[in-house]
């Protein structure tokens, strides 16, 4: 009887080792999935921040062209023309979030300009049980919208010289702006009222 018990224990030992190995494999696999999910969320945060930074910087650059378009009565053309997104801002914010900007693309359209940014995280998944993960990096994409939220302004020629010298904007956020192009207010004081910047679904 004693010999038989020892034999049973000897047969059970490989099964015990196999079960422990299987459980360790599952644990490492769950860890890899969890790490990949965390890295994906971090990359998405980096993409969101990068897209917003590029869009906000683009809005900051609109001032000269916007005021010039009022003087020339070409506001519609200005709002519809293409623009160059400041992708250096996208890269700066991506880097601040431990990622790199791999794509920065503008899309222009009347009253609606978009900047799409794709980033790649710098930290690999690097799971010991999933082959190839040492070269797998989380990627994410985000699009920010720069939207003109004030309908065409009411223009006034106060001195009758044929040149519109006062423009009144009634914006969707309820604010009313009066702008005299030849004595325009600093762009940073009016840009956030005229143009909204926000993330949008791709």
Question: Looking at the domain assignment, is residue 165 inside a domain?
Answer: no
Question: Looking at the domain assignment, is residue 188 inside a domain?
Answer: no
188 phi, psi to nearest 5 deg = -65, -20
Question: Looking at the domain assignment, is residue 187 inside a domain?
Answer: no
Looking at the structure of the chain, the number of domains it has is: 1
Question: Looking at the domain assignment, is residue 35 inside a domain?
Answer: yes
Select from 34, 43, 36 the least CA-distant residue to 140: 43
More confident residue, 46 or 108: 46
pLDDT for the residue numbered 186: 93
Beta-bridge mates of residue 121: 99
Question: Looking at the domain assignment, is residue 181 inside a domain?
Answer: no
Question: Looking at the domain assignment, is residue 156 inside a domain?
Answer: no
Range of the domain at 122: 2-149+194-200
Taking residues 46-60, what's their average pLDDT? 92
pTM across the whole model? 0.75
Question: Looking at the domain assignment, is residue 84 inside a domain?
Answer: yes
Q: Give the number of other Cβ atoms within 10 Å of residue 119's Cβ.
A: 34
Question: Looking at the domain assignment, is residue 185 inside a domain?
Answer: no
Share of the chain above pLDDT 70, in %: 71
């Amino acid at each position: 009887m004693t010999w038989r018990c020892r034999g049973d224990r000897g047969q059970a030992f490989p099964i015990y080792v196999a079960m422990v190995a299987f459980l360790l494999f599952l644990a490492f696999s769950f860890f890899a999935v969890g790490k990949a999910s965390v890295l994906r969320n971090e990359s998405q945060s980096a993409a969101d921040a990068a897209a917003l930074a590029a869009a906000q910087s683009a809005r900051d650059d609109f001032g000269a062209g916007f005021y010039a378009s009022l003087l020339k009565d070409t506001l519609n053309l200005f709002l519809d023309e293409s623009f160059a997104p400041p992708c250096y801002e996208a890269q700066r914010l991506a880097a601040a979030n431990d990622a790199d900007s791999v794509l920065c693309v503008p899309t222009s359209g009347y009253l609606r300009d978009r900047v799409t940014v794709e980033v790649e995280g710098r930290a690999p998944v690097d799971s010991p049980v999933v082959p190839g993960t040492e070269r797998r990096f989380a990627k994410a994409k985000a699009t920010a919208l720069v939207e003109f939220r004030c309908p065409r302004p009411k223009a006034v020629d106060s001195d009758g010289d044929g040149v519109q010298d006062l423009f009144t904007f009634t914006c969707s956020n309820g604010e009313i702006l009066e702008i005299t192009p030849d004595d325009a207010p600093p762009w940073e004081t009016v840009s956030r009222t005229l143009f909204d910047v926000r993330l949008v679904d791709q």
